[in-house]
Every structure is written in C-alpha cells, then in structure tokens.
Amino acid sequence: MSNYHFNSRTPGSKIHTTSTGKCGKAPCDYRANAPGAPGAKAHAFSPWEAHHIICLKSIRAFGDQTKYPEFQSCISEIEDTYRRTDWCINQNLNLIPLPLKGTYKQHNPASHGLDLPCHDMHHNAKLGYQDEVTAALKRHVWARIKDAVDNSAPGQAHYSESAVLTSLQTLETRFRAIINVRGRRMGGPVAVWGMQGSTSNGWWLPFSMASDAVALARKRKWL
C-alpha cells in the first residue's frame, strides 16, 4: 500500500494525517494533547497511551488497492480533497488517553476510577476498533467523494473540503462516545473485577475496544 500520508503543511496541503512532523495547528503533539482531550482521565492512571480516535492507519487506508479497489479510480480526487481539508489528526478532539492491559494489572479500577477500555485489547483485531473506523471513513468520506466524481458534470466541483471536515468531526464525536460506552459495559471494570478467570461470562467486555460481538468471539482468560 502506498503511504498516502500528509506529513506537514506543505504548500497546497492543509491536512495533517501522521503522528510525526508538525503542522500549523499548535501544539501538534498527540501525546501532549491527549490529557486535554474531552473527558480525559490521564492523571488518574499510569501507564497510559494516547489513542487517535480516527486511527492513523484508517485515515489513509483508501490507498490499499487490495482491500479497496473501488477507490483506485478516484484516488487523486480523494487526495486533492484531503489536501484542502483543514484538519490535524493530533489535536485533542481526535485523542483520548487510554489505559493498557498492564494498567489494570497494576491498579484496582475501584481505586483509580478507571472505566475505559484498554488501548492494546482488540484495537487491531480483525473487525476490531480500527476496522470499524476504517469502515466509517469508507462510508462517510471516500464513497461520497467517489459518488460525486462518478456523477458530476464536466468541470463541476466534485466534493467539498468542508463536507470532509464535517464528516471527520462527526466521526471523532461518535467514536469517542463509543469508546466511553464500551468501557462501561456490564457495569464497567469495577463490577466485573471479581469475575476474572471465567471464559464464558464476557467479563472482559469493558476492557475491550471492540464491539460486543467481536470481543465475545475473542475470549480472554486474563487481560
């Protein structure tokens, strides 16, 4: 897969889709911005990691010719629309600090107010969190650009950067809510803490970033 990342504010490009480099939105530092994210609880637990709500791999996945051949005919249009979109992946609206499995091993959730899923549990699983975000981008951004390209008249503008920005901001809000809800399944980590060790009651649901169906299909004996 080609890179398709926009690393900085080069001439003609407003979007920033990688965790490296700096753009014009200060501070462009995902780890520094995560504790200031809406509802962040970064100081309540350690260790923690900064999670990009719209994932780094998801935002560029349209360039994967094997998985998304339907977008290869309009890659240049997707890239052009991206470049005009004034959005940075490293700002606090796209970030949330999350615990790791090791965090829960070290700290009883009752003593730290922990009710968030683990960054390293089902984030990258097949049909897990990252795949969900990619599917949402496909539906709400790339497919709309393709539809506009396929149905536009000669010389007609294809798809606006303001529409892409609105979609990205909507997805940031939606998936932040999803993460928070998933961390409170079954009453949250405190409620299931005494159930550890079972392989059948789904006690691990509030620790997983994935949907119920995906998390339950990937049973865990321990975090």
| pLDDT, mean of residues 57-77 | 93
Q: Would you call 38 helix, strand, or coil by DSSP?
A: coil
From 9-18, 60-69, 86-95, the region with the lowest mean pLDDT: 9-18
| pLDDT, mean of residues 108-129 | 88
Residues of the chain with pLDDT > 70, as a percent, come to: 86
| In the chain, where the domains are located | 30-217
- In the DSSP assignment, the letter for residue 153 is P
φ, ψ of residue 88 in degrees (nearest 5)? -125, 130
- The CA distances from residue 56 to 75, 76, 153, 190, in Å, are 18, 19, 33, 31
Q: Report the pLDDT value the prediction gives residue 9, as an integer from 0 to 100.
A: 53
Give the burial class of 76: count Cβ atoms within 10 A of its Cβ; 0-12 exposed, 13-18 middle, 19 or more buried.
exposed
| pLDDT, mean of residues 134-158 | 86
Q: Is the pLDDT of residue 64 over 70?
A: yes
Q: Report the pLDDT value the prediction gives residue 58, as an integer from 0 to 100.
A: 97
Q: Report the pLDDT value the prediction gives residue 216, as an integer from 0 to 100.
A: 92
